[in-house]
A and B are shown apart, each in its own frame.
Chain A
């Protein structure tokens, strides 16, 4: 058996253990996970180009899940990065996919990073053919599952530029088993030159900011995407060697087309044809791979209409298509966590079924999300997910109409498009919140407004609203931007996702009266208009994100008949239970568990208390206090070794002992403040444990007074009695106050009291209710002699009518004068006990002071009755006369010629006590 640990060491150990657990938890949370895949970097040389003979080096990385081998083959995923990125940009997604059992091949597209070649914008002859060669490469890998020779089991995943590649590859290469294109385009020329009345890109309005961003990105790709050597001027110079500074790594034809469009703000047919080659629109009818189309609602570059067109095109051939929208995109980023989780789940489900071949056929339900508020903690948006059994397109499953009114209004086209309204901040990198926090501005004089009445019920717009407008222009032409605002009662207007509908109107009359209505398809949005809000159609002449005519002109804008209906598609949708909802059940369950736990604890405690032995010890039923074999050990310090005594009715018992004898510890046990290590205490026959009701029959002063210092003496006594919960009349307050004898001071605050006053007040408090047993610890401490005398009388009187008093003291005289009985303790054990007069009664020993102690001892040694003679000092003798009369002893000494100076009779108690105190009363500490 190991020795018991000390209290301090146990505490240190406990603290240490807690710290260890905390440190462990932190380490566990922060420690990077062991990857469950391995990666392999390789430069793969492929031959592409129109004739498949132009070599290019691609920088690739293959992620192989653990366990993938020639015998345990795994399906593969081609993971393409976005524009301006490299294979590094998709690292996290590749980890994810590898984690669920796919071999993932990521590569840097030609023209970017460390790959060779030039940017051809996902041209079927270049980027797409590169990807086909990578499919060949995968088929040759021994770890990759194949459907046939040269045909690996492979899906293609990509976002934006990578998403375009995914669709084009799926259309060009029948070996692709599934495609997950995200936030990508349908028709590249229309995406960069949109026109919302249905005209083609030749008449489109150039999205100059986005185009410029991309061009800058590609032209500088040699600089930005070199990775770790980007800071090395030599490496930069090397990468750009021979590159056209105007075009960077863009292929010459792409560069030239961009320059033509950017210069004029208009696209020629050649440029449109060039861009169209890079568009999935051309291959949709050939896509046989089931396709999951993911598109963002906060995307002014590739809005929802792009995915819609792709979905219709692919579905037309019977290929399974699923559409999911998330709150994010080129403007909104990855979106909130709930959306990311949903998209990740949909993608895994899609790939698992169509590539890996596990899991049920995914449904083709349409899921989307809507901003429902702000997250107070990370300041992001919070979205709620919805689903509908089938993808309804942008027209919704139902429609609402809201009429907007307003007169014809003149609007000015600013020269060179400056200043321009701001609807979105392309490339600002996603503060979704910016759409709500009001970066959107319309400039006065440059826009017309048509406003509805407040809505009487909320409207959930999911899709593309349409509206008819009329315009007149002195030049016969106008470029206008039509926007749908949600205006709250305070007048704050919200432009959902910053999306606008650019229109180029031609053949316009100069007078508004002659203008014909044209139907404008507004961008598809997911937006809830609350009841009480109004809708506003704004028609602006400029927008910072678009190229507008440089010529200053004043147009006139109107709606048909000064009031026209805005058609708003709606989809009711089933809310997707947010996984967060589970926490509400957790909370309810937790509260219920706590309630149940509380009830159980209360029941158990009550049951245990009821079971508690409340029988009365018959022998002690009338004994106020009986202590048997009491022992208290603190750690390895024995405070009380063994104490037995009793206090009977009518007795005033003194517990006498030097400081540190264990008196206070004994009293603490009596008060239920401390649990004894061993032994029993009975009060009127009831076993005493902490909190025993029988304690209410004991009044106590233990270890000095304890009062609320800010209250008066009287208020303290009242507060104490209030805490007992007993009737006020039982307190006998007047008697207690009389005993305290504080006079008017009883109304003063206790903190102003002297030590003695507090002591008296404490004794008065102990006497409140006249308890049957009074326990007082050093009651005369701090009292002056008259008060001590008075206190003695009080205590003696107190014990007269069947009550009992236990007084502890280290002063012999006090016990002698106050008590009827005494218990002498030292070092935690009883050394003497009995009636005071018995103990105090004369002892057979006598102290004699003589002229010559040695001679006297000799003389007394001769005496027959004298038992012992002790020499105490050279003139002191302690003589045990043992029955011999003192006079006889003195006479004998005198007879022998020894001078007797003094004869002092000794008392037993003194004998006992002085011997103890004499031994050592110092250093024993306070027990």
Chain B
């Protein structure tokens, strides 16, 4: 008996060096949808900025929390970024993350290239881990691209102003930037649920559209259920229940309680989904 795990391998082959992250990153970058998705993250703030230029300020925009965010959106770069995040957090970012995480394995299965990766052989756990890390990397990049672009164009257009909100006093720009980073961090954590769900579906199907669409659909379903107050305590268990808790970071002092609960919920769901994904993929017969 020997402990040489590379026994019998071709010269130069090491299991731990297969499918390097760099190779997978390039593999995904070569795809048009990756660049389109990231491009959209750049485009969205610009579109919003242009739309605000056409705002004649005369009409009312519905009022309420949302209305006030619109009113405040043009008060500075930080607020503009906040607005961009607010409008994209519920759908656009969800779709982007579902795209990166849901498409990654399923599309390889669809092209038939998955079996060749496994025959390299890329160990299954490594394949899943690398795919997941890269998908999360692109998801994070999308989030940062959106926020970064919004902050850059927003600051260029509206200036480096304090972060304002209707729920609390204005926050100095420096501290406001820290809050904004906190919001980004929390959004990233919440989106882990989408990432987990999409990835689980991705290893379970050969249809990329099914994985991406399924994850988005389930997310929307959860959001709808969360609107039904009659469900009572069940709502607390829904993965989307705490998805807007980041608004607590606008309050002074920042409210962390719901963020903590939201983070717990997201981490539990994501861990569950990913564990299932690993477990499933390690055991499944790859037939496509």
* Residues of A bordering B, CB below 8 Å: 25-26, 29-30, 372-377, 379, 382, 436-437, 488-490, 492, 530, 578, 580, 583-584, 586-587, 590-591, 594, 605, 609-610, 612-616, 668, 671-675, 683-686, 690-698, 700, 702-711, 715, 719-720, 722-727, 730, 765, 769, 771-772
Query: A26-B231, A375-B248 given as contacts; is B121 within 8 A of A615 (CB)?
Result: no
Q: What 0/1 readout, one digit per residue, does chain B (124-138) give for beta carbons within 8 Å of chain A?
A: 110000000000000
The CA-CA distance from A797 to B98 in the complex, in Å, is 48
> What are 14 A-B pairs at a CB distance below 8 A?
A372-B255, A374-B247, A375-B248, A583-B264, A587-B263, A686-B7, A691-B15, A692-B8, A704-B112, A706-B114, A723-B27, A724-B120, A725-B14, A725-B17
In the assembled complex, B91 has its CB within 8 A of some CB on chain A: no
CB closest chain-A residue, reference B244: A376
In the assembled complex, B123 has its CB within 8 A of some CB on chain A: yes
A684 touches B8 (CB 8 A): yes
The CA-CA distance from A765 to B32 in the complex, in Å, is 24
Cβ < 8 Å to A, chain B residues 1-59: 1-15, 17-20, 22-24, 26-27, 30-32
In the assembled complex, B156 has its CB within 8 A of some CB on chain A: no
In the assembled complex, B122 has its CB within 8 A of some CB on chain A: yes
B18 touches A613 (CB 8 A): no
CB closest chain-B residue, reference A610: B3
Query: A590-B267, A672-B119, A691-B123 given as contacts; is B5 within 8 A of A709 (CB)?
Result: no
A373 touches B248 (CB 8 A): yes
In the assembled complex, B60 has its CB within 8 A of some CB on chain A: no
B118 touches A672 (CB 8 A): yes
B30 touches A616 (CB 8 A): no
In the assembled complex, B141 has its CB within 8 A of some CB on chain A: no
A707 touches B7 (CB 8 A): no
A693 touches B17 (CB 8 A): no
Contacts of B14 in A (CB 8 A): 725
B169 touches A488 (CB 8 A): yes
B251 touches A708 (CB 8 A): no
Query: A613-B1, A674-B287 given as contacts; is B115 within 8 A of A697 (CB)?
Result: no
In the assembled complex, B92 has its CB within 8 A of some CB on chain A: no
A382 touches B119 (CB 8 A): no
The CA-CA distance from A700 to B286 in the complex, in Å, is 15
A583 touches B257 (CB 8 A): yes
User: A118: shortest Cβ distance to chain B, in Å?
Assistant: 40
A692 touches B245 (CB 8 A): no
Q: What 0/1 readout, one digit per residue, does chain B (179-220) give for beta carbons within 8 Å of chain A?
A: 000000000000000000000000000000000000000000
In the assembled complex, B87 has its CB within 8 A of some CB on chain A: no
The CA-CA distance from A671 to B118 in the complex, in Å, is 8
B5 touches A693 (CB 8 A): yes
Query: A373-B254, A697-B9, A726-B10 given as contacts; is B26 within 8 A of A673 (CB)?
Result: no
Interface residues of A: mostly helix, strand, loop or mixed? Answer: loop
User: B255: shortest Cβ distance to chain A, in Å?
Assistant: 5
User: B264: shortest Cβ distance to chain A, in Å?
Assistant: 5
Query: A590-B268, A673-B115, A727-B12 given as contacts; is B246 within 8 A of A376 (CB)?
Result: yes
User: A765: shortest Cβ distance to chain B, in Å?
Assistant: 7
In the A-B complex, the 9 residue pairs with the smallest Cβ-Cβ separation, listed nearest first, are: A706-B112, A376-B247, A725-B17, A373-B251, A693-B9, A694-B8, A722-B23, A696-B13, A686-B8
Give the residue among B10, B117, B244 with the most A Cβ atoms within 10 A. Answer: B10
Contacts of A609 in B (CB 8 A): 5
B286 touches A694 (CB 8 A): no
Given A674-B286, A692-B8; 9 other pairs, CB 8 A cutoff: A30-B232, A372-B255, A382-B257, A587-B263, A690-B118, A693-B9, A706-B112, A708-B30, A765-B116
User: A773: shortest Cβ distance to chain B, in Å?
Assistant: 10
**Of the residues B7, B118, B119, B124, contact of A693 by C-beta under 8 Å:** B7
Query: A591-B267, A710-B30 given as contacts; is B257 within 8 A of A702 (CB)?
Result: no
The CA-CA distance from A81 to B169 in the complex, in Å, is 39
In the assembled complex, B260 has its CB within 8 A of some CB on chain A: yes
Give the residue among A382, A616, A696, A704 with the most B Cβ atoms within 10 A. Answer: A696
Contacts of B280 in A (CB 8 A): none
The CA-CA distance from A29 to B235 in the complex, in Å, is 10
Give the residue among A605, A722, A769 with the most B Cβ atoms within 10 A. Answer: A722
CB closest chain-B residue, reference A715: B30
Contacts of A615 in B (CB 8 A): 1-2
User: A584: shortest Cβ distance to chain B, in Å?
Assistant: 5
The CA-CA distance from A779 to B116 in the complex, in Å, is 15
User: A166: shortest Cβ distance to chain B, in Å?
Assistant: 32
A674 touches B10 (CB 8 A): no
In the assembled complex, B71 has its CB within 8 A of some CB on chain A: no
A583 touches B260 (CB 8 A): yes
**Of the residues A375, A591, A691, A710, contact of B32 by C-beta under 8 Å:** A710
Q: What 0/1 readout, one digit per residue, does chain B (248-288) give for beta carbons within 8 Å of chain A?
A: 10111111111011011001100100000000000001110
A708 touches B111 (CB 8 A): yes
CB closest chain-A residue, reference B65: A379
In the assembled complex, B233 has its CB within 8 A of some CB on chain A: yes
User: A440: shortest Cβ distance to chain B, in Å?
Assistant: 15
Contacts of A436 in B (CB 8 A): 167
